Amino acid sequence: MMKFKPNQTRTYDGEGFKRRAACLCLKSEKEDEVLLVSSSRHPDHWIVPGGGMEPEEEPCGAAVRETYEEAGVKGKLGRLLGIFEHNQDSKHRTYVYTLVVTETLEDWEDSVSIGRKRKWFKVDEAIRVLQSHKPDHAEYIRTLMNTSNPNCSPVYNSTNGNTPSAHVSDNNTPHYVVCSSGSDLVNR
């Protein structure tokens, strides 16, 4: 299913979830610093770069494209951290990958067109910054901190959103279900 917006096409999967992809941009293989970008709707808030998948686009390609557009960085695509579902007001299913940044552009699409900014944060600081307005994005970073083996990762139970259990999916891709408790989440 597709829905058209003036400048983009939103795609949905068979269950009605908006198909999204994002990269948790890392300063190094140590995975101790992440790059956040300012929100387009609320420039004083930070978010993880990501967005909707285009028709026929693979999740990893969409994650790299969205990261390049929003953060102006290129890098080495790493593991799939998981597939995060957000069921509150708008149903999103987001594929989140790691990306070790190898190139940082001085000017990039969103910095020129909307004045987007970017900033490196230590992982614990990034969680604090994201927790109040983007708890689902904070969960990406918590997952990064809790997973050193990409083939054996916690799954978050959809009933309470915080009960981890060991799980390896059929295709060795970790699957996460994140249920946000707040109803006042801010869209970017």
Q: Which residues are catalytic?
A: 69
Region of residue 161 (phi > 0: left; psi between -120 and 50: alpha; otherwise: beta): left
Task: Extract the runs of DSSP E, i.e. beta strands, from 40-86.
Answer: 46-47, 50-52, 73-86
Place of tokens 């998948």: 53
Q: 68 to each of 12, 33, 100, 131, how far by Cα in Å?
A: 22, 18, 13, 24
